[in-house]
Amino acid sequence: MITTRRLAAGACALLAALAGGVAPANAADGPAKNSPKVELVLDVSGSMRAQDVDGGRRTRMAAAQQAFNEVIDATPENVRLGIRTLGASYAGEDKAIGCRDSQQLYRVGKVDRTDAKAAVAGLRPTGWTPIGYALRGADQDLGTDGGTRRIVLITDGEDSCGMPDPCDVARELAAKGTHLTIDTLGLTQDDKTREQLSCIAEATGGTYTTVRETKELSGRIKQLVRRAETPVETPKPVTGTDQCSTAPELRAGIWTDREKFSEHRWYRVKVKPGQELRASVSVGADRAVDRDYGVLLRAVTEGGQELVRGSDAGSGRTDVMAAGLRHPVAEAKDDGDKAPRTVCLEVSNSFSAPPSVQREPGLPVELAVDLVKGPDDPSDLAAFGLGRGWVLLAVLAVTGLLAGLLWGWLARWRLAVWREN
């Protein structure tokens, strides 16, 4: 009876897989649902036939296949791995068909090394390069059942379809708040490819790397797969408001939001007497922006009185701007003074962009909040640049005066010695 049931279950699973047109399920005894997930997205377009890797001894496709075999062997047991292709099936001239040519080659889950290698071995350079379409498919492949989510894109050129634009897709996926990271690897060094792959990576906090050797490609992919294994705190999505009274309340942790150009957003934090609030914000420039920009983080009372601020500004090319602050709350003097204080955090930016640059979704914002035991005397901390600052100014002034007197005395002594000689 048990054998009959198992055969029936196996037959049903196989029929479901064939009917759905998807890759067969991996082994059921794989990593837990909250384990990290990585999907490798490989360009199998016609240009991958070029023989210019390893000093011209190997085609781009052969180098990618060998690198994938090595990565499959080295995948940690608790990482769920999947593989998706783009441009692997359609060799015709119909752009509408070619720009939807992306399939999941191996489902995200426990790796059966033999099956995964066999699937990769059958790939041949074929068609178009629909990167944006493939990224959307990879995001769906990874699901949202827990664990970190990472896409590693390997391609030898820019998107050949244009719709959807892969940079816009990366921003769209990042704005969903599912903490997806996209790392990109380019097998060519032309400026257009580098610019597009850098844009995709920056939009999600990933990395871009140019590789020209099989060993380098294999090593970099292994590194990214292992990085997914490293536990990280997943940022929690939040939506700031335009005033403190309606702002969401944040606890200690890492929070993500989106902010339009030159927008101000508010958040609230409850700080108990004897605690110190530590907050930092980073705003990513994930698209082309104008020169001259800044980021401001302010801590304000509910009545509008500024407590402390942190800011950063720059001009020219940048990837991210960050600012931070610290604000201590004094210990309660009596039992009636133990209620937490509400501190309003304002995040604003002065980014702008040419009219041709897409405004939606807004710029990525990451806000880190921590509440720790405060100093014994908060006024000491405030004096050193965290509120007032006159003590530090006095110290610098006295130091400068003493240095000037010492330099003047040395100069007079040297002049006297010179005259004697």
Structural domains in the chain, CATH included, are 16-229 (3.40.50.410), 236-374 (2.60.120.380)
Neighbours of 1 (CB within 10 A): 5
Q: How confident is the model at residue 43 (pLDDT cuts 50, 70, 90)?
A: very high
Distances (CA, A) of 57 to 52, 185, 213: 7, 20, 10
pLDDT tens profile 83-102: 999 999 998 999 999 999 99
Q: Which residues of 331-341 are buried (b: 16+ CB within 10 A; e: fewer)?
A: eeeeeeeeeeb
Helix (H) or strand (E) holding 39: strand 37-43
Backbone torsions φ then ψ of 15, nearest 5 degrees: -65, -40
Task: Answer whether 308's CB lies under 8 Å from 378's CB.
Answer: no
pLDDT tens profile 117-142: 999 999 999 999 999 999 999 999 99
Residue 303 CA, chain-centre distance (Å), reads: 35
Backbone torsions φ then ψ of 197, nearest 5 degrees: -65, -35
Task: Answer whether 45's CB lies under 8 Å from 127's CB.
Answer: yes
State what percent of residues in the chain have pLDDT above 90.
48
pLDDT tens profile 1-14: 333 333 344 444 43
Dist. CA 149–CA 11, nearest whole Å? 31
Whose CA is closest to 153, among 128, 132, 171? 132
pLDDT tens profile 172-184: 898 887 778 999 9
Residue type, 364: P
pLDDT at residue 286, rounded to an integer: 78
pTM of the model: 0.63
Task: Answer whether 41's CB lies under 8 Å from 149's CB.
Answer: no
> E strands along 59-211, which residues?
80-86, 102-109, 149-155, 180-186, 208-210
Whose CA is closest to 166, among 210, 208, 127, 134? 134
Residue type, 378: P
